[in-house]
Amino acid sequence: MAAASSLHVAAPAATPRVGSAGPKSASAARSVRVARSGAAVRPGGRLVACAAVATKADAPASEAASKSEGHEVLLFEALREGLMEEMQADPTVCVFGEDVGHYGGSYKVTKGLADMFGDLRVLDTPIAENSFTGMGVGAGMKGLRPVVEGMNMGFLLLAYNQISNNCGMLHYTSGGQFKIPLVIRGPGGVGRQLGAEHSQRLESYFQSIPGLQMVACSTPYNAKGLMKAAIRSENPVVLFEHVLLYNLKEKIPDEEYTLCLEEAEMVRPGEHVTILTYSRMRYHVMQAAKTLVNKGYDPEVIDIRSLKPFDLHTIGNSIKKTHRVLIVEECMRTGGIGASLRSAIIDNFWDYLDAPIMCLSSQDVPTPYAATLEDATVVQPAQIVAAVEQICQ
């Protein structure tokens, strides 16, 4: 796995006071966090955040067990729960962004947090993405754990310099003197007639930035788990949320949990073909899977979740079983996640393939406003069914 798989957390000697809620010091917060997550203390006082990095053997069993009881939430509420729990446990966690305060964010992920933690920890900013993203980088350098919200992910193109040259590279260019424990999150993807500028998929833009991790949530369960793990990570993490998934409802555990940032999710085991997908396309794939089963096919569906780095362990084991691969994404075809994933599969699992890798992606055009044209630019279930039939001939 990537170096990010081992999160070594050293408690800071002194931490600025950012609010009254939660423990009174960062070291106290770390103690609370370690006690809850089962982290181990290494010689020299260094802590290993075990809960944020689940083992391959433990993850499926623990997820199934923890889902047996719990409470129902919408996806945006699950994100809010994860953020709130981390802010209660650690006073260095803070939020920056447009309308994140008393308005509660454009999709209500931060609703009520300003009342709980104060205006300094949930900071409303001007409409200046480059400024407040740069402020998040600086806050991370000084020992805070900022969560920067882009009101729409497309707007974060205005902060591309801060994300690439600062956020992703400062740990290296400072010779390891600074860490950037920063989370950048917000809504993106093709919505319902939001127009070209509000329908961006920035994963293709950000994937080439050294030092940056990327994850995409697709259910309330993994949204909360990934949010908490991203906040605890010592690396800068971009958390992609799809604008059409915020109102998905699911039962999640009452007890605390986190998910591994580098691990894919087995959605449906199968034998005939491996379908790799993420975010909203997970639901198009599962809709297609019903049709495929009725036609006699047995697809294996994997939500890759980690867009950088890829979980080649899970992906590779599936390919060794099915020997056929279909990638389904909402990202652009040219230079998208699918192109990088196909390259990684060819480099690592070429000898296990019995058919060419197929990749279904959005068309390389600005997303139209008209609903019928908008649908035509995005992969639909019927196309997935046709692709599987072609691969399995």
- Please give the positions annotated as active site: 129, 198
CA-CA distances (angstroms) from residue 223 to 157, 183, 291? 23, 13, 28
Q: Are 341 and 276 a contacting pair, CB within 8 Å?
A: yes
Sign of the Cα pseudo-torsion (314, 315, 319, 325, in order)? positive
d(CA 160, CA 153): 11
Q: Are 5 and 262 a contacting pair, CB within 8 Å?
A: yes
CA-CA distances (angstroms) from residue 46 to 8, 27, 30, 327? 6, 12, 11, 40
Tokens of 107: 């999709």
Q: Where are the beta strands (DSSP E) in 180-233?
A: 183-188, 213-216
Bond preceding residue 366 cis, omega within 30 of 0: no
d(CA 34, CA 12): 15
Phi, psi of 213 (to 5 degrees): -100, 150
